[in-house]
C-alpha cells in the first residue's frame, strides 16, 4: 500500500478523482484505491468468431507482409483487379511529358510520387522527427474559417487545401513542414511510473508563395493503415445512425455523430466514413482525392488541377492528359482499397488476452471502438457482404478534447472531433512498419501513450486506465496487441 498512497496523491493533484479532501477515506468505490493484486481479474468470455476479424475475408499472415494480402475469399476474376490496383498503388508517377504516357502528370506541386510512399507496406506512416525536412507520410491540410458550397473547408487562398512540400522542375515548392515536440506534465498511473507525453508543434517554413493567411488552420495527418477498408465501406448507414447519440440521450457522456460530406459522384450529401475526420464518403473519392491532393494527378472524378490563382507557374505546368488518371485506373485503385484483407487476431482465446478484453469493456473503450458488427450488401462486392466483422470502430466523430484538437473544421467535424479509428491490425504495427507511432499525426509513441492522449468524451475511459492496477493495465495492452 506504500505505493498506493504516493500514487493516489499525485492522481489527486491532477484532479483525477472527484473527492475534494486531502485525505479521502478509502471505500470500495473509491477509484483512486488500487485493486489489490490478490483479487482475480475478470476474464471476458471468448466468442469463437472473434479471431477472424474480417469474417471469411480474414487472412492469417503475421509477418511484415500482413497488410498487403488480398481478402481470403477473393475470386480469380477479382484477383486480377486487385493486382492491377496494387500496381497502380505502388507505381511512381513522373512529370509530364514523358514517354510513359500512362504514368506521367505528377505535380506540378505534390507531396509524394506514389500511394505506397506514404502508406508504407499498406500500414501507417510515421511523422517526421527532429528538424528533418525529408518528405514523409505526414501531410498538412490547410483552410481558412468558413465553409464552401458543399460544407467543405475553405482552402487557404494562396496555398490551397493541402501543403505541398515538393514540385516539378521550374515550379517553386510550397515549403517545408517542421515538427518539434515539447514534453507535457507527467501523466500519473496507479502503481507504475508516470508517462510524459510529447505534444507536437508545427511550423510551415521556406514558404514558396509568400505568407499564409493570418487565420489559416492546419491539420497535420499521418497516412492510415489500408486493411479492411472494403468491410468498413460495407457497414450499412443504418448501423452508424443507430450508434450515433449526438445529444447523449443515454447520459453516458459519449455522443458520436456521423460526418456528412459531399459525394461528387452522386451529386449529393452522404455519410462520411474515411479519413481521420470521416471526411471522405467512399474509397473511390479517397483515391481520387489522394491522386489530386498528394500527387497533383487529375482524374475522372476530380478533373481540375489544384493550383491556386497565386500559383501561375503551377497552372501553366505540362499536363499528362485530361484527365491524367482515367476511369479504369481510378477504379482499380478503388477496387484494390476494397480488397485488402484484415489479418486474424493472435491468441484471442488466451486467458491474459481475455482479461484485457474485460478491462477494455470495463473502461468503456467499446462505446466508441465498437467491437463487432455485420456488413450488409455492398454492390459489386459479394465477398464483403454479410460478414460478421470485428473492426473496433463506430466510424463516428467524437470530441476527444482540446489536447488532441487541430482547431480545423472538416465538413461537420469540429476542430476537436475525430473519427474513431478501427483497431484491427493494431498489434502488427511494429512488425509491418517498424514503429508504433499512433493517432492522427503520429504523436503517440506507443499504445499506452495513445490512450493517455484521450480526453473529452473519452476522458472517463482514459482515467479508468490510469486507475487500473498494473496487472490489469498490462492485460489491456496485451489484448490490444492481439488485435
Ligand atoms: C502524402 C502521403 C499520402 C499519399 C501519397 C497517399 N495517402 Fe492515402 N492517406 C494519407 C493520409 C494522411 C490519410 C488520412 C487523410 C485524412 O484524414 O484526410 C490517408 C487516408 C487514406 C485512406 C483512408 C483510410 C481510412 O482508414 O479511412 C485511403 C483509402 C487512402 N488513403 C488511399 C490512398 C490511395 C489509393 C493513394 C494513392 C492514389 C494514397 N492514399 C496516397 C496519406 C497519403
Ligand atoms: C469517445 C470515444 C472513444 C473512447 C471511449 C475511446 N476511444 Fe480510442 N480513439 C477515439 C478516437 C476518436 C481516436 C482518434 C484520435 C486521434 O487520432 O486524434 C482514438 C484513438 C485510439 C487509438 C489509436 C489508434 C490509431 O489508429 O492511431 C487507440 C490505440 C485507442 N484509441 C484505444 C482506446 C482504448 C484502449 C480505449 C479505452 C481505454 C479508448 N480508445 C477509448 C475514440 C475513443
Q: Is the distance from CB of 289 to CB of 325 less than 8 angstroms? A: no
pLDDT value for 130: 58
Q: How does residue 456 score in pLDDT terms, banded at 50, 70 and 90?
A: very high
pLDDT value for 21: 34
| Distance of CA 455 from the midpoint of ligand 2 (Å) | 10
Q: 375: which 3 cell numbers?
A: 456488413
User: pLDDT tens digit string along 245-281?
Assistant: 999 999 999 999 999 999 999 999 999 999 999 999 9
| Distance of CA 466 from the midpoint of ligand 2 (Å) | 15
| Burial label, 108 (beta-carbon count in 10 A; 0-12, 13-18, 19+) | buried
Neighbours of 449 (CB within 10 A): 19
Is 132 strand, coil or helix?
Answer: coil
User: pLDDT tens digit string along 200-240?
Assistant: 999 999 999 999 999 999 999 999 999 999 999 999 999 99
- Give yes or no for residue 31 having a pLDDT over 60: no
| 386/397 Cα distance (integer angstroms) | 25
| Protein residues whose CB sits closer than 6 Å to any atom of ligand 1 | 89, 111-112, 115, 117-119, 137, 139, 221-224, 229, 274-277, 279, 283, 286-287, 290-291, 294, 333, 337
Q: 155: which 3 cell numbers?
A: 482552402
Place of cell 502508406: 119
pLDDT value for 36: 53
| 316/107 Cα distance (integer angstroms) | 11
pLDDT value for 256: 97
| 331/335 Cα distance (integer angstroms) | 6
Domain boundaries, the chain: 34-481
| 379/426 Cα distance (integer angstroms) | 28
User: pLDDT tens digit string along 274-290?
Assistant: 999 999 999 999 999 99
Please provide the average confidence, as pLDDT, over all residues in the chain. 91
Q: How many Å is the Cα radius of gyration of the chain?
A: 23
| 365/415 Cα distance (integer angstroms) | 22
Q: Which residues pair with 263 in a beta bridge?
A: 268
Q: Which residues pair with 162 in a beta bridge?
A: 141
pLDDT value for 25: 37
| 48/92 Cα distance (integer angstroms) | 43
| 311/305 Cα distance (integer angstroms) | 11
- Give yes or no for residue 14 having a pLDDT over 70: no
Place of cell 478534447: 401
Is 206 strand, coil or helix?
Answer: coil
| 114/290 Cα distance (integer angstroms) | 10
Geometric angle at alpha carbon 45, from 42 and 49, rounded to 5°? 150
| 82/88 Cα distance (integer angstroms) | 10
Segment among 31-35, 392-396, 457-461, 478-482 with least mean pLDDT: 31-35
| Protein residues whose CB sits closer than 6 Å to any atom of ligand 2 | 254, 276, 360, 363-365, 367-369, 398, 400, 404, 418, 420-421, 423, 426, 438-440, 447, 450-451, 454, 457-458, 461, 465, 480
| 277/420 Cα distance (integer angstroms) | 9
User: pLDDT tens digit string along 180-203?
Assistant: 999 999 999 999 999 999 999 999
Q: Is the distance from CB of 254 to CB of 247 less than 8 angstroms? A: no
How far, in Å, are 74, 134, 321, 336, 424 from residue 168 at the CA level?
A: 39, 16, 16, 28, 38
- Give yes or no for residue 37 having a pLDDT over 70: no
Q: How does residue 16 score in pLDDT terms, banded at 50, 70 and 90?
A: very low
pTM of the model: 0.93
pLDDT value for 319: 86
Atom 36, ligand 1: which residue's CA is nearest? Answer: 115
**How distant is the alpha carbon of residue 414 from its chain centre?**
16
DSSP string across 40-71: PPP-----TTTT-TTGGG-B---STTTTSPBP
Q: Which residues pair with 391 in a beta bridge?
A: none
Largest CA distance in the chain: 78
Amino acid at each position: 500500500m506504500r505505493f498506493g498512497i504516493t500514487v493516489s496523491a499525485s492522481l489527486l493533484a491532477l484532479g483525477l478523482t472527484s473527492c475534494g479532501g486531502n485525505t479521502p477515506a478509502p471505500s470500495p468505490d473509491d477509484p483512486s484505491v488500487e485493486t489489490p493484486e490478490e483479487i482475480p481479474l475478470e476474464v471476458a468470455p471468448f466468442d469463437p468468431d472473434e479471431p477472424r476479424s474480417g469474417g471469411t475475408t480474414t487472412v492469417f499472415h503475421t509477418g511484415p507482409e500482413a497488410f498487403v494480402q488480398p481478402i481470403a475469399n477473393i475470386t480469380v476474376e477479382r484477383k486480377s483487379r486487385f493486382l492491377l490496383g496494387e500496381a497502380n498503388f505502388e507505381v511512381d508517377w513522373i512529370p509530364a511529358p514523358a514517354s510513359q504516357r500512362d504514368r506521367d502528370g505528377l505535380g506540378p506541386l505534390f507531396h509524394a510520387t506514389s500511394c505506397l510512399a506514404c502508406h508504407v507496406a499498406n500500414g501507417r506512416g510515421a511523422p517526421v522527427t527532429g528538424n528533418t525536412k525529408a518528405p514523409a507520410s505526414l501531410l498538412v491540410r490547410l483552410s481558412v474559417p468558413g465553409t464552401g458550397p458543399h460544407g467543405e473547408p475553405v482552402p487557404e487562398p494562396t496555398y490551397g487545401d493541402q501543403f505541398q512540400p515538393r514540385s516539378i522542375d521550374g515550379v517553386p515548392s510550397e515549403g517545408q513542414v517542421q515538427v518539434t515536440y515539447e514534453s507535457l506534465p507527467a501523466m500519473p498511473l496507479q502503481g507504475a511510473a508516470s508517462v510524459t507525453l510529447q505534444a507536437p508543434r508545427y511550423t510551415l517554413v521556406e514558404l514558396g508563395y509568400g505568407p499564409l493567411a493570418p487565420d489559416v488552420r492546419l491539420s497535420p495527418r499521418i497516412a492510415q493503415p489500408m486493411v479492411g477498408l472494403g468491410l468498413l465501406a460495407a457497414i450499412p448507414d443504418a448501423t452508424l445512425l443507430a450508434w450515433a447519440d449526438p445529444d447523449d440521450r443515454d447520459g453516458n457522456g459519449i455522443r458520436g455523430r456521423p460526418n456528412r460530406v459531399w459525394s461528387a459522384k452522386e451529386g449529393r450529401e452522404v455519410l462520411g466514413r474515411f479519413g481521420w475526420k470521416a471526411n471522405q464518403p467512399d474509397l473511390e473519392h479517397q483515391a481520387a482525392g489522394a491522386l489530386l491532393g498528394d500527387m497533383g494527378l487529375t482524374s475522372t472524378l476530380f478533373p481540375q488541377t489544384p493550383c491556386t490563382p497565386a500559383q501561375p507557374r503551377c497552372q501553366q505546368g505540362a499536363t499528362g492528359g485530361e484527365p491524367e488518371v482515367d476511369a479504369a485506373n481510378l477504379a482499380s485503385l478503388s477496387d484494390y482499397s476494397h480488397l485488402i484483407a484484415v489479418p486474424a487476431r493472435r491468441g484471442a482465446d488466451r486467458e491474459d488476452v481475455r482479461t484485457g478484453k474485460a478491462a477494455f469493456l470495463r473502461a468503456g473503450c467499446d462505446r466508441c471502438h465498437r467491437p463487432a458488427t455485420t456488413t450488409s450488401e455492398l454492390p459489386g462486392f459479394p465477398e464483403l457482404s454479410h460478414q460478421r466483422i470485428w473492426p473496433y470502430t463506430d466510424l463516428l466523430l467524437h470530441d476527444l478534447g482540446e489536447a488532441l484538437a487541430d482547431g480545423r473544421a472538416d465538413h461537420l467535424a469540429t476542430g476537436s472531433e475525430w473519427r474513431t479509428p478501427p483497431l484491427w491490425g493494431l498489434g502488427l504495427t511494429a512488425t509491418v512498419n517498424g514503429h508504433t507511432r499512433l493517432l492522427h499525426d503520429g504523436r503517440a509513441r506507443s499504445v499506452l501513450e495513445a490512450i493517455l492522449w484521450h480526453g473529452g468524451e473519452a476522458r472517463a475511459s482514459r482515467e479508468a486506465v490510469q486507475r487500473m492496477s498494473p496487472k490489469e493495465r498490462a492485460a489491456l495492452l496485451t489484448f490490444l496487441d492481439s488485435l
